Structure 1
Amino acid sequence: MLERITPGIDKFYVACGKTDMRMGINGLVNKITTEFKLEPCENSAFLFCGIRKDRIKVLLWDGSGFILMYKRVERGSFKWPRNHTEAKQISVQQLEWLLRGMEIEPVKPIEKITGARFTERNSIVQNLLKS
């Protein structure tokens, strides 16, 4: 959805952690430049989320000025990364996941067990049963 609104955007950044959603354009630009050490006037979009994970702000530069978009979901919430205070670059695929309420980090698959490891575990169980 957002990628259709923002053609020409090369990079998407998620501001991990919580952002004071009362901030406007100037406050968010200041956060980008001072905390994240990034240039807000490049072909980038910056996404911010507050304490309530049901709303986000998107800030981008269109060549002549800043655009600030606001989205609030009526049901559900965004799966926002809370463990860091950094700007994490994400792919278009991760952006789509985030806007659909999904995690942006891929889920780890179940580890495959090789025959040797299975035999090793199996022999331990058999030894316990013999005792």
Structure 2
Amino acid sequence: MFSLGSSHRFYLYDGHCDMRKSFDGLCGLVISAMQRQPTSGEVFVFLNRSRTHIKLLHWEHGGFVLYYKRLEQGTFGISALKKGELSWSDLVLLIEGVQVVKSIQKKRYSLPQKQLF
């Protein structure tokens, strides 16, 4: 069951990943290159050099889950994405092959923070 959602934090690995790596190899990359803990519950996203394969590593209660997708045609477009943390919407667009060239988020009203004195 696909149990990822907008409540998770997603981190894109800054570099190219050897897709032969499995749980232990990817955990090593998370610790050494990303300076994060793989058992934190965050989701770590890895792409190969040609951007045709993607892996997502996630710790759930009881163990690791590895999601893997290989494209038969095309590539994952990450040119507009910054390395590091991704939003849920960025991840969905990346996986579905939608590349946003330009987007503008309009200012929205939010309630002011109550000050405690």
Equivalent-residue separation in structure 1 for 2:97 and 2:5 (angstroms): 22
More off after superposition, 5-14 vs 61-70:
5-14
Kindly state the Cα deviation for residue 64 of structure 1 after the two structures are TM-superposed: 1.0
Equivalent-residue separation in structure 1 for 2:45 and 2:94 (angstroms): 10
Higher gyration radius (CA)? 1
Q: Is the 8 A contact 2:5 2:88 kept in 1?
A: no
More helix by share: 1
Aligned counterpart, 1:123: none
Cα RMSD of the aligned pairs, angstroms, is 2.7
Aligned counterpart, 1:50: 48
Equivalent-residue separation in structure 2 for 1:8 and 1:42 (angstroms): 16
Q: Is the 8 A contact 1:17 1:80 kept in 2?
A: no
Aligned counterpart, 1:107: 102
Kindly state the Cα deviation for residue 48 of structure 1 after the two structures are TM-superposed: 0.5
TM-score if structure 1 supplies the norm length?
A: 0.66
Q: Is the 8 A contact 1:9 1:43 kept in 2?
A: no
Shift in CA distance, 37/48, structure 1 to aligned 2, threshold 3 Å: same
Aligned counterpart, 2:20: 22
Kindly state the Cα deviation for residue 53 of structure 1 after the two structures are TM-superposed: 1.3
For the residue of structure 1 that corresponds to 2:39, the secondary structure is coil
Aligned counterpart, 1:10: 8
Match of 2:61 among 51, 60, 63: 63
Letter in structure 2 aligned against 1:90? L
Aligned counterpart, 2:76: 78
In the alignment, structure 2 segments of 5+ residues that lack a partner are 105-117
Residues 14-57 of structure 1: per-residue CA shift (max 9 Å, x gap): 11321111111111001101111111111211110111211111
Equivalent-residue separation in structure 2 for 1:76 and 1:50 (angstroms): 13
